[in-house]
Amino acid sequence: MSEDLSIFVGAGDTDQNLLLKYGNRHGLIAGATGTGKTVTLQTLAEGFAAYGVPVFLADVKGDLSGMSQKGGDNPKAVERARLLKIDGYGGRAFPTMYWDLFGEKGQPIRTTVSEMGPLLLSRLLDLNATQEGVLNIVFKVADQQGLLLLDFKDLTSMLQWCAENAAQLTTEFGNVTKPTIGAIQRALLVLDQQGGQQFFGEPALDLKDMIMRDANGVGCINVLAADKLMQSPRLYATFLLWLLSELFETMPEVGDTDRPKFVFFFDEAHLLFDDAPKALIDKIEQVVRLIRSKGVGVYFISQNPLDVPESVLGQLSNRVQHALRAFTPKDQKAVKTAAQTFRPNKKFDAADAIIELGVGEALVSFLDAKGAPTPVERCFVAPPQSRIGPATDAERQAVIKASPLAGKYERVVDRDSAYEVLMGRAGAGQHQDADMTPPAAPSTPRRRGQYGAPPLPDTAPGGPWGAPPQQQQPQPQWNPPPQQPPTYDAPPPPQAQPRLRRSLPPEEAPPPRAPARRSDSVIDAMTKTAARTVTNVVVREATKAIFGRGGIGSSIVRGVLGGLLK
């Protein structure tokens, strides 16, 4: 094998390795239910993390939460390690960050309404073309007026204002009707009932908090609790799409690197594409294509490879195909298509093999050293070293408590924005700024890919992150990574500071923001904005301000997908 770093994915007749330098050439893990997709994802995620690549994954069934815990004792995993003759197989806990849109099973994740942008918001609210057009106008008016759209209250009060001024807006921008605005408001209510309003507000997610390594240079496993989220499939899919577009927007171009900067696993990928309009699929295809040069690998996980549109499927170079059933004509078509996407191997027929594969067995093809897909091979997938299955609530809470982000996102900050301005309120504020520490030194593998990497020291009670955050404060300093990477023969000595390393360059600190205040629900907000006496005054004042002034303010309507659509 060449000197390229690689993840040992499994073995059949030959070892199957995913070359780290092609980790950003995306991938697909497909297979029927119970065939081993999640375990394969876990093995790949561990492989990336062991080489210092942070990953993000959505934990749809809760069975990936165990990655924060040492495994290696699962009888099937032990048996698989023995079968594959894996040197040094043993338990290993991975530095894990739990995230949860609802803030129950991890750090809350929020973004602002402006950051999400009208395109994704329209998708989230399931708006039709007319309603989407009006939502665009609402954003534009807010933009012109310099009104920040941060949370649900801002959006609802802005919508209320636009309804009050529908006639003037129609003159200026085209048809804006009260019934259309009413429909958008109703869609917002539905989203609110699904808990969606918690997703909007501040402090918004700082992506640097996901792109971290621990003191040993191991990439962070970002686990999104998605069991409850999956009950709102549209929120789930739109959120992941938003995250992908944020990554695209935030990450710098890096060209060819020896390993990816970040890897994103997109489970239940069919939800992304179900009923998606062509324009959106085109944009997803474009983002997936372009994000590669930013060092981001995207891996789709799906039961059926036909769930992924061909334009996207064509870009997924690292393939793991678990067993498929072939009961119905549709099943048979899926088997045939899956088989045809592989480069044939004279030794066997891929379509026959796909239906014969056992659990944890797969057809695989990765890119070889020259970047060409290898002929399809049948292999037993290597077992993960962390726990297969969920973490207990107590284990999860211990990890969350010891997390370097503990306390950063829990408290909602409600600064001066559209709602407060329209309601005639004012304020000033405060914002927690992310600290910056230098990127970790690259890690060097020994034999057998990630399995040669040293186990993390047992650091309980702090967990794999090390001691609790209050004992060690990361220093906001940036040094180039050491020229000589540490070898795994001699694990690096424990470092007191900085405890966390980030792989993004520093940015200017954002200005101070408003003090924390609990965000109202959308229903409260709508009730308040409907309070005529106040609103009428506000409406009059804001009308003067908007229509009495020409020119368009600087755009606050962001969102990569929105930008790309122009």
* Interface ranges with ligand ATP (CB under 6 A): 31, 33-39, 61, 76-77, 80, 359-360, 381, 383, 388
Residues 206-235 that bind Mg ion (CB under 5 A): none
| The entry of Mg ion, ligand ATP, none that residue 39 binds, CB within 5 to 8 Å by partner kind | ligand ATP
| The entry of Mg ion, ligand ATP, none that residue 31 binds, CB within 5 to 8 Å by partner kind | ligand ATP
| The entry of Mg ion, ligand ATP, none that residue 466 binds, CB within 5 to 8 Å by partner kind | none
Query: If you search the block for the tokens 């908007």, which residue do you land on?
Result: 546
For ligand ATP, the closer CB: 267 or 420: 267
For ligand ATP, the closer CB: 106 or 383: 383
For ligand ATP, the closer CB: 77 or 97: 77
Closest separation between CB of residue 77 and ligand ATP, Å? Answer: 5
Helices 152-164 and 113-125 sit at what angle, rounded to 10 degrees? Answer: 70
For ligand ATP, the closer CB: 25 or 37: 37
Q: Is 47 exposed, middle or buried (0-12, 13-18, 19+ CB in 10 A)?
A: buried
Closest separation between CB of residue 284 and Mg ion, Å? Answer: 22
The first and second tokens of residue 226, run together, are: 């998605």
Using CB under 5 A, which of the segments 36-44, 97-105, 125-133, 369-377 binds Mg ion? 36-44
For 348-377, give the DSSP string: B-HHHHHHH--TTEEEEE-B-TTSPBPPPE
Closest separation between CB of residue 384 and ligand ATP, Å? Answer: 8
Produce one character per residue of 87-113: b if its CB has 16 or more CB atoms within 10 Å, e if not: ebbebbbbbbbbbbbbbebbbbbbbbb
Closest separation between CB of residue 306 and ligand ATP, Å? Answer: 16
In the DSSP assignment, the letter for residue 174 is: S
Q: How far is CA 362 from CA 112, 270, 334, 350, 379, in A?
A: 41, 20, 15, 11, 6
Q: Are strands 6-12 and 377-381 parallel, antiparallel or unpaired?
A: antiparallel
In the DSSP assignment, the letter for residue 219 is: B
For ligand ATP, the closer CB: 35 or 68: 35
For ligand ATP, the closer CB: 296 or 338: 338
Bridge partners of residue 381, in order along the sequence: 10
Closest separation between CB of residue 33 and Mg ion, Å? Answer: 7
Q: Are strands 221-225 and 55-59 parallel, antiparallel or unpaired?
A: parallel
Compute how many other C-beta atoms are within 10 angstroms of the C-beta atom of residue 199.
27
| The entry of ligand ATP, Mg ion, none that residue 302 binds, CB within 5 to 8 Å by partner kind | none
Closest separation between CB of residue 105 and ligand ATP, Å? Answer: 18
For ligand ATP, the closer CB: 43 or 472: 43
Q: Are strands 27-30 and 296-302 parallel, antiparallel or unpaired?
A: parallel
In the DSSP assignment, the letter for residue 449 is: G
| The entry of Mg ion, ligand ATP, none that residue 147 binds, CB within 5 to 8 Å by partner kind | none
Closest separation between CB of residue 240 and ligand ATP, Å? Answer: 17
Helices 532-547 and 166-173 sit at what angle, rounded to 10 degrees? Answer: 20
What distance in Å separates the CA atoms of residue 448 and residue 90, rounded to the nearest whole number?
Answer: 13
Using CB under 5 A, which of the segments 33-41, 218-226, 256-264, 396-404 binds Mg ion? 33-41
Identify the CA nearest to 218 among candidates 411, 430, 455. Answer: 455
| The entry of Mg ion, ligand ATP, none that residue 359 binds, CB within 5 to 8 Å by partner kind | ligand ATP
For Mg ion, the closer CB: 38 or 317: 38
Closest separation between CB of residue 86 and ligand ATP, Å? Answer: 11
For 236-295, give the DSSP string: HHHHHHHHHHHHHHHSPP--S-SS-SEEEEESSTHHHHTT--HHHHHHHHHHHHHHGGGT
Using CB under 5 A, which of the segments 32-40, 315-323, 498-506, 556-564 binds Mg ion? 32-40
Please give the distance of CA 70 from its chain centroid, rounded to a whole number.
Answer: 24
Identify the CA nearest to 395 among candidates 236, 268, 223, 228. Answer: 223
Number of residues in contact with Mg ion under rule CB under 5 A: 1
Closest separation between CB of residue 46 and ligand ATP, Å? Answer: 12
Using CB under 5 A, which of the segments 37-45, 50-58, 129-137, 548-556 binds Mg ion? 37-45
| The entry of ligand ATP, Mg ion, none that residue 23 binds, CB within 5 to 8 Å by partner kind | none
Closest separation between CB of residue 173 and ligand ATP, Å? Answer: 47
Among 6, 35, 38, 112, binds Mg ion (CB under 5 A): 38
For ligand ATP, the closer CB: 89 or 264: 89
* Cα Rg of the chain (Å, integer): 25
In the DSSP assignment, the letter for residue 38 is: H
For ligand ATP, the closer CB: 81 or 351: 81
Contact 5, 257 (CB under 8 A): no
Which residues, at least 6 apart from 481, have a Cβ–Cβ distance to it below 8 Å?
A: 438, 439, 440, 441, 442
Closest separation between CB of residue 39 and ligand ATP, Å? Answer: 3
Collapse the DSSP code of 342 into the 3-class scheme (helix H, G, I; strand E, B; otherwise coil) and give the result. Answer: coil
For Mg ion, the closer CB: 29 or 316: 29
Q: Which residues bind Mg ion (CB under 5 A)?
A: 38
